[in-house]
Chains A and B, each alone.
Chain A
Amino acid sequence: MTWFGGCRASSARWPALASAPPSDQFCTSNVLCSYYNGDSIKHNIEYSSAIYYDQKTGTYSYAPASTGSSDKVDVVTNVPQGTDYAAGIHSHGAYEGSGNNEFSTDDHEAAEATGEEAYLATPNGSLLRYDNQGHEEEVSTDLPSDPNDPDRKNTNTPNGYLDKACAK
């Protein structure tokens, strides 16, 4: 099993976690979603991963993503030994209505149940964060986005998306 390396890039937009350097969690989320959201849109399936914190290296990283279907995905919990689970993250597949660009009631419920933060990569290319206390924020708008989404935040068409369209 391989693990994606963490990143240390800083972002002033991201609030600090109490026990970890600020912004790295966001950085990791954004890297992860830049990597997976395109495939999630292309194949219209949800991806899920866990962001974890490695106290030895002081970095965040994420577990290999699991895949679900167009409307659900299992949470990933198997972070490496000696690391701390920091947040859950998943994507919402392709645009099937404006609801896909928001956390679902289920998402809110899961975050509130676990008491942990949740990130969401949406079809319009935004990365959202829910703090499990009723507050959401848009933390990035530069992820791959679905050309079919009328609320698209950017023009980052997923790699291979046009190939898929031509194959139809």
Chain B
Amino acid sequence: MRSCFCLAARTRALSRYSSPVLRSAWRVAVALLLGNAACSRRETAAAVPVIAGIPQQSAAAQNGGPPDGDHELKWTTRDIPKLAELRQAVRSGSRVWVLADRLWAPEATGMVVSFEKGRPSFRVQLEGAILDLRRLGDDVMALRRDGSTVEVLKMNGARPQSLGCAQVEENSRPLGVISVGENLAVLGTASIVYIERGSCVARATVPLTPALKIRKASRVVVTPVSNGRVVYVGTSLGEWSEGLWVVDTLNGVVASLATCATVRRCSEPIPASADIRGSAADTQAACAIVAIGNTHWFPRGRLARACPWGTEEVWKKELAPWRDSSTMPLYGVAAGNSPQAYTVLTHDSLLVLKDGRVDHEVPLRPPPLAGLHELEVEGLTVLVRAVGQDQGKPDALLVQ
């Protein structure tokens, strides 16, 4: 029993970890208990999308033209309505799966459309709502809800394969599908429901203590790390954002990592009002790297590291002040292969960070055509919309 990793103990003893010595001890303990460096290497690999190895020039030739500046255009489509909000995108091989809000039926969120260069796109038709889309290992998984039933689907074509389903309690809003070790589970606001493969009876249910209190309208960013042992849950609801929590999936203990309301009122890097726009497993074991961005009244954003023992600021960029110290909002992040190496998404570019500084910047220049465009930039895949710009709503999305 890895009792010393228990978040309840962490919460009780958090104040004692404020010294550098104890923080270091915590990190060592986590590294040992979580397994190993191999585990963290796997996380790093998972956090950085693997791009199909097509040389840029030959791929550009397939597109009928040279690469567009610093990036390559893969495909353009109008299959997603311009008013639908892009929520998540994952790739498997050369195929990209996009989860977007269905604006014509907002009570039943989520439609999935699949794209691949040179092949027809298709929309996955399912009853109910698709709540989450995630790459687990080599597979793309979706979480579907229909009434009180949640189902985990493996996306392998227009007809997804059901891996199992379960009933969820009325008071537990399903947030995401995760894998805890080899086990599939559905993380909800009040419990973790472990899925029995091929069955519709939950194998186990672990209540969350305390339950997550998240507004119904909040978008959530769920980031499992350490092979699913630790899960970070961030909220994105503009001025109503509610912060970031860390969940110990072994015992369901939840701890808030945002203990003060606003950045201005304390020096905490992730306040409760932080709008969490993206997150990825960090190179540091058990930690996540978090992109924060909000443009309510004035732009604010930063890159921060969240760990079970606390949070720290990694990077931010001051903007020309307008009666206040505005900072650049960030809308996505991918961890690099080395510590302190990250790529962050801004409203119009990718910034490659190394050792806390901007190494270089790549502007995102979609073609002057309406629609959704897939660009390959710096080894990452970015979806960009050429039209439909809306304040505070970035029209670019990092593909995980």
Contacts and interface: CB of A to CB of B under 8 A. Distances in A.
B215 interface: yes
B217 A74 contact: no
Size class of the contact patch on chain B: 20 to 34
B391 A106 contact: no
B239 A104 contact: yes
Contacts of B237: 71
Given A69-B238, A114-B323, A75 B392 contact: no
A58 interface: no
- Please classify the interface of chain B as helix (H, G, I), strand (E, B), loop, or mixed, using the class held by over half of its residues: loop
A73 B273 contact: no
B215 A97 contact: yes
Residue among A66, A97, A109, A114 having the largest count of chain B Cβ atoms under 10 Å: A109
A63 B390 CA distance: 19
Nearest to A106: B239
Contacts, number: 91
A69 B392 contact: yes
Contacts of A110: 296-298, 324
B392 A106 contact: no
B272 interface: yes
B122 interface: no
A10 interface: no
Nearest to B324: A113
Given A96-B217, A109-B273, A88 B392 contact: no
Interface in B264-313: 264-265, 272-273, 275, 294-298
A27 to B, nearest CB: 23
Contacts of B322: 77
B298 A75 contact: yes
A99 interface: yes
A153 to B, nearest CB: 21
Contact of B324 (A74, A108, A114): A114
A57 to B, nearest CB: 25
Interface string B213-252: 0011100000000000000000001111000000000000
Given A105-B272, A109-B262, A72 B239 contact: yes
B261 to A, nearest CB: 5
B294 to A, nearest CB: 6
Interface in B372-392: 390-392
B118 to A, nearest CB: 35
A153 B134 CA distance: 44
Interface string A50-71: 0000000000000000111111
Interface in A94-112: 96-97, 99, 104-110, 112
Given A106-B296, A107-B239, A109-B264, A74 B392 contact: yes
Interface in B20-67: none
B240 A68 contact: no
A155 B393 CA distance: 33
B261 A72 contact: no
B81 to A, nearest CB: 16
B331 to A, nearest CB: 13
Contact of B240 (A73, A77, A104, A108): A104
Contact of A107 (B217, B294, B297, B393): B297
B101 to A, nearest CB: 11
A66 B391 contact: yes
Residue among A71, A107, A110, A115 having the largest count of chain B Cβ atoms under 10 Å: A71
Contacts of A88: 297
Interface in A14-69: 48, 66-69
7 contacts: A69-B393, A74-B297, A105-B239, A106-B238, A109-B264, A113-B298, A113-B324
Interface of B: 215-217, 237-240, 261-265, 272-273, 275, 294-298, 322-324, 390-393
